[in-house]
Chain A
Amino acid sequence: MLISRSDRGLFASWWFTVDRLLLSAVLLLMAAGVLISMAASPPVAERLGLDSFHFFKNQLFYLGFAVIILIATSLLEPLQARRAAFVVFLGSLALMVVALFYGPEIKGAHRWIDIGPVGLQPSELAKPAFIVMAAWFLGENVRRPEMPGLLIAMVLAGAFVGLLVLQPDFGQSALVVITFIAMLLIYGIPWILVFGLSALAGAGVFLAYSMIPHVASRIDRFLNPEKGDTFQVDTATQAFQNGGLFGTGPGGGEAKQILPDSHTDFTFAVVGEEFGFIACMGLIILFAFIVIRILGRAKADPDPFATLAMSGLAVIFGLQAVINMGVNVSLLPAKGMTLPFISYGGSSLMGMAFAMGLVLAFARARMGVAAADSAWRSVTA
């Protein structure tokens, strides 16, 4: 079916304005995730006594929803997208409070709430929504300096991070804090403050290190491999070594059989073992392309709100990928962080689909944007 340029319908106007290259990259990543889940999840499922393809089937099921969320969100106008983010932010923040009191305790944390047969992690949905909220208030502040946007954004960040700490989920807290600092940087706070805030965050990490035993042991184990149990990281390293340039081939992995979190935090190692260095590079390039492309779009957009929102979403997406892959190749201490669109997990998949949907919505070519662009003005003048 050919779509006419003159068609003003919802789909046609979306098709000609959406960033199709970015959309393709995201869809490609999702497809790769399905393929990788087929290799990475059966050993874990078997160890837990489940059907071999239990996680794979679930992932496929969630992926259906994720694609719908991605497309539906990208159809929105920027203003609608902002309102959607507002609703999602309030809703998921409320659910996080509910999870604190009523959620089941899993591995010592209250992060999930049970909805029928599935568990939902509201913080995964709250992350992209929070970024859009923060971008909104920071952006308003740029346009109308009399408005206390910075203060409101700070309060929102405090509330969100506070809830994450209460769960407790330090990985996510750190991620949100770093992303927020990056947004403040782009918003234009002086360098001295950036360093100050970073020092504050560093102090937070030190506090966590000295107060919370499992954080301390993780960092100790990273700094001193001889000291403690580095089973996960060692096995991941061995997986990469087994893989070599081309990998052992699907199903040929040996280390993946004993890698405890092969379907979530250590998926990348399984890719390394079974598909090899070249496939890993393909993934890295795909992630890098998406991040750089969004940042480029953000820089070109004249609307401060859109710039801040897009760059915040790119930063959180990129950071998650960098931290996850960094842990896998033992450049960073072990930290539970999912690889966007690749690791198993329904909530993370939905949250990331929502995030990318928002990016696509903000990045759609707009009449007003072109008119406001100085380059465009110089052409039409």
Chain B
Amino acid sequence: MLVSPRKNGSLPGRNRLRLVSFGFIVFFTTISAQLGYLTVWQGRPEKPAAEYSERVPRPDIVDRNGVVLATDVSFFSLYADPRKILDVDEAVELLTATVPDLDAKTLRQKLAQPNRAFVYLKREVSPSERDAIHNLGIPGIGFRAETKRVYPMGRLASHVLGYVDVDSKGIAGIEKFLDDQGALYTASLGEDNSRAMPAVLSIDIRVQHALADELAKGIAKFRAKAGGAIVLDVRSGEVLGLVSLPDFNPNQPDKNFTFDQANRMTSGVFELGSVIKAVSFAMALDYGVADLTSRFDARAPLVIGRAVIHDFQPTRRILSLPEVFTNSSNIGTARMVLGVDAERHQAFLRRVGLMDRLVTELPENAKPILPKRWGRLVQATIAFGHGFAVQPLQGAQVVAGLLNDGNMLPVTFLKRDAADARAMAKRVVKPKTSETLRYLFRLNGLEGSARSANAKAPGYRIGGKTGTAEKVVNGRYDKSRNLTVFTGAFPMENPQYVVMVLLDEPQATPETYGFSTSGWNAVPTGGNIVARIAPLLGVEPILTDDERKAIAKQAQKEGRT
């Protein structure tokens, strides 16, 4: 054995414990001495705490074709190290004389803090001011290079982009999304430390512009309070354009935006009659409780308990299923949905994602407002969208999914490639149901309430569903205030794009013969939008001879050849 312990079983090295204790005392004392040397002996360092060198550059944001939507521009800020200011009075006098918008009182307060190492005096000084201040030669005054976020497109796509605060921190929209992914994500976009790779959005700025322009015209024409519009790529779930008016300019320095400027298409919920009726039809067809030959009694209002369901434009006859769709019959839709029990009704709505909050890259998203109890009356009113409010974008996502052979894709604001999209698709209804629904949409575009869309955009084969909801004012439905919605798709034989238009309180005009329902305002606006964006998106018109002649005549009249 290496050691020979003492016979009595006691530990031979016990007294060496004193040595160990002594060693630790030496260690701890050394550390204390070094600590005292660092903290007390050396005093505060002259330099301010190290520059914030870990600051990650913000990536540019570009649209799907590489057009810059947000970028960083560098500028200088004026700061002071009050410890080095020799004569506060002199510094205040010189600075206020050179930069008149500096307030002498606050400046004095800032400079008279001998323990501070760093204090901002003015963010963003102009180059001439910078030179003038530099020439004053005041010790303890310096400039810090900073960057500022600039949105070259101004108001365009402002709700998607969001904005940043004065410290370049994302506050809203995709800007906040980039921050929420963490510095690591933002840095992963970066090639090197100086310039980051851009974040590529799904937005097509040309489509966005046409959308904003036509919507603004529609709002002006029908004297609506506000409005919104969405264009969705059906096959990839990408949002090509999203407008909510009134919008805002993210370049505005104070960012003092009002609630009215919020993004209605995602941060607000609305009763989207048009969408919900389409969903009701899809459900009834998919569950097999109705088909194209089904008939529904719309001769008299439907009475459930003490409630009575009317049609907006009563037909007072027995309607076939396509007629229920094109006439937008509340009675017919309610009767059809009552063939499904409440549990399966809810299950279907959950499957298409209408029962849950839609979460996209945009941080601004609202939770749906759902009925608390599911009786027969609730089922009947929900069938046509009464008492069921969701984000408009959520509605557009559902309609795109229903028309896309039943393959629903989560919508996105980032560019997505086709393979990714296919992998993400979730089947919500049978392809056969989707086909029937496409027929109903197209029929409604040819003969029903969405006719005027095709009139505005001949040859683009638009199909759609309209909806007019009475707004809830003080807890009651107000018959005089409408929210009109058009949800359409084109080209209908193989839908590629979904267009949704929403107008808030459009007014009747002489041109609309005193009507303010969707077919008279949201639908023609939607038609105008399609006429502008379809050529951009490469959809070719197929014209009948009559349409060709009409266009030629129109061109002749306007003096074009």
Interface residues of A (CB under 8 A from B): 47-50, 141-143, 145, 150, 182, 185-190, 193, 235, 237-238, 240-245, 254-255, 257-258, 272, 276-277, 280-281, 284, 287-288, 291-292, 295-296, 298-299, 302, 304, 307-308, 311, 315, 318, 322, 325-326, 329-331
Contacts and interface: CB of A to CB of B under 8 A. Distances in A.
A339 B117 CA distance: 30
Candidate in B13, B24, B32, B45 with the most chain A CB atoms within 10 angstroms: B13
Given A254-B48, A302-B10, A188 B3 contact: yes
Given A241-B38, A257-B52, A186 B16 contact: yes
A361 B22 CA distance: 25
Contacts of A244: 39-40, 43-44
B39 A292 contact: no
A308 B17 CA distance: 10
Given A284-B32, A291-B24, A322-B31, A299 B45 contact: no
A331 B34 contact: yes
B97 to A, nearest CB: 32
Contacts of A50: 182
Contact of A187 (B3, B38, B52, B183): B3
Contacts of A188: 3, 5, 11-13, 16
Contacts of B49: 238, 242, 254-255, 257-258
B28 to A, nearest CB: 4
B3 A189 contact: yes
A302 B8 CA distance: 11
Contacts of B10: 142, 302, 304
Q: 3 tightest A-B contacts by CB? A: A49-B182, A188-B12, A254-B49
Given A145-B5, A245-B40, A186 B13 contact: yes
Contacts of B1: 145, 150
B30 A331 contact: yes
Candidate in A244, A276, A308 with the most chain B CB atoms within 10 angstroms: A244
29 contacts: A48-B182, A48-B183, A142-B10, A145-B1, A185-B19, A186-B13, A186-B14, A188-B13, A188-B16, A190-B2, A235-B50, A241-B44, A242-B44, A242-B49, A244-B43, A244-B44, A245-B39, A277-B35, A280-B35, A284-B28, A287-B28, A288-B28, A291-B21, A299-B14, A322-B24, A322-B27, A322-B31, A329-B38, A331-B30
B44 to A, nearest CB: 6
Contacts of A288: 24-25, 28
B133 to A, nearest CB: 24
Contacts of A257: 49, 52
A307 B455 CA distance: 96
A23 to B, nearest CB: 20
Contacts of A280: 35, 39
Nearest to B181: A49
Contacts of A258: 49-50, 52-54
Nearest to A331: B34
